[in-house]
Amino acid sequence: MTQPHASITVAGRSLELPLESLHQIVGGAEPATSEALFLRAEIRRRTALALRKADPKRYRDIRLGGGSYWLGIGQQHWQRRTLAEILVTAARWLHDERPDALLRLSKRRKHSRAYIAQDPAALYAGRADLASFAKPFAPGWYVDTNLSAENTHRFLDDVFSEAGLARRRDWLFARLSV
């Protein structure tokens, strides 16, 4: 059974929202899902962009948050400027919250390389020229940040499914409007 949805327009762009999420966003309650947290951030961002456009002098100092990419896990959420920062944030969360899942994930390989490893060389299967893309996220742990947007989505799917989390309900990754 599908949830009833509402369509709202912010800054000339339409959003389809589950009514329950919309109620949580406008009612001031803490959203229960990662998707509702993202929608709250997106509405705030679009509103700020519309205010800046409508009256640039008056609203030039209005803040848009910490970046264009949004990652929410449970009630925690982050805005980051780059995909590499999202990858480091996700890996750090996994290290801190689900170390057993981190160990299992580090043993997986995609083609000939790993996404997470305790040795940066293991991330690139002998490609020393790519070693600069290995970013530390915890003592003795590295994550591959040389991923496209599509592969970043795959990586996050692997990370959070290994941790037993469901997309949209427990976690969500998205690009905020520009």
Query: Residue 109 is part of which domain span?
Result: 82-166
How would residue 107 be classed by pLDDT, with cut points 50, 70 and 90?
A: confident
- Are 124 and 130 within 8 A, CB to CB? yes
- Domains identified in the chain, total number: 1
The vertex-93 CA angle with 128 and 125, nearest 5°, equals 20
pLDDT of 177 higher than 60: yes
Residue 128: give its domain's CATH number. 1.20.1380.10
Structural domain contains residue 1: no
Helix 99-106 to helix 149-162 angle (10° resolution) is 130
pLDDT of 178 higher than 70: no
Which residues have a Cβ under 8 Å from the Cβ of 109 and sit 6 or more positions away? none
Structural domain contains residue 6: no
Q: What percent of the chain has pLDDT over 70?
A: 87
